[in-house]
Amino acid sequence: MKDLKSYLERGILEQYVLGDLSSEEQFELEKYALLYPEIKTELLQIELALITYAKMNAISPPEKLRNKILNGLEFKDKKVQKLFDRSSKWLQFYKYSLAASLVLLFMSIISVINLNKKLNDSYEQIAILETGIQRFSNQVNSFDQELTDARNALYFYQNQADFKLVTLRGSEKAPEASLLVAFNPKEEEVMIDLSSLKMPSNDKEHQYQLWAMVDGKPVDLGVFDSEVDSTGMKKMKSVKNVQAFAVTLELRGGSANPNMDQMMAIGSI
């Protein structure tokens, strides 16, 4: 044979052991096995390896049942007996292979189930961590806002002489409402006193919006909620040449123009 290595790498030996070759191919391989010791040696090693693997994972049937079936068979023709013996050999091999395959399939299913459970547990832990991180972030933002309001209050009290205090009184829409606005014309600064805030509670869809009247036109100064905060002053947007301040109830985030039907408080300088 010109290229023995190429012949061995074709996988034809494995097909022979598994019984997947035609009768002509089997005859040809058996002839080569007699001529070339390398083929015979490789053939025996493959057969031994497959049978050993199958036996390691085999589930044997009850011995009594096997003997009962075999003892019940009679062969008058030696050729038939020989054929049966060879067939039994391959049936035994396929039995071991099937058993091994079932064991591997079962182990794979168990592994997939365990992996899926671990993934679900991981997703739950990640969700818990994300919730905790969000809660911590909200707390940090709240503390940061309180610190900012406290600093604004300190700045206001240190420079109180520079501020004009304007008390906004409630309108017919909210007669009990009131808000103290501090305005520094020189620095164009506006603050609202959160500790003196008196406004009806606003829902999650709405916020109060502060407006400055400049040359007869409303100017947006920012939004706020109705919660009283004793930490200090909330700084609003800068403005100059103010004649009056007003508060309206708007959709959360504020509006470009005031909703006059929702006028809550107003005060002139």
Whole-angstrom Cα distance, residue 269 to residue 163?
A: 11
Higher local confidence (pLDDT), 74 or 46: 46
| Whether the Cβ atoms of residue 184 and residue 240 lie closer than 8 Å to each other | no
Higher local confidence (pLDDT), 141 or 267: 267
Sequence ranges of the domains in the chain: 162-268
Mean pLDDT confidence for 6-29: 78
pLDDT tens across 194-226, in order?
888 999 999 999 999 999 999 989 999 999 998
Whole-angstrom Cα distance, residue 195 to residue 110?
A: 63
pLDDT tens across 22-53, in order?
888 888 878 888 888 888 888 788 777 777 76
Q: Which residues pair with 251 in a beta bridge?
A: 206
Whole-angstrom Cα distance, residue 170 to residue 179?
A: 9
Of 84-88, 113-117, 182-186, highest mean pLDDT: 182-186
In terms of pTM, does the model score above 0.85?
A: no
Instruction: Provide CATH code, domain 162-268.
Output: 2.60.40
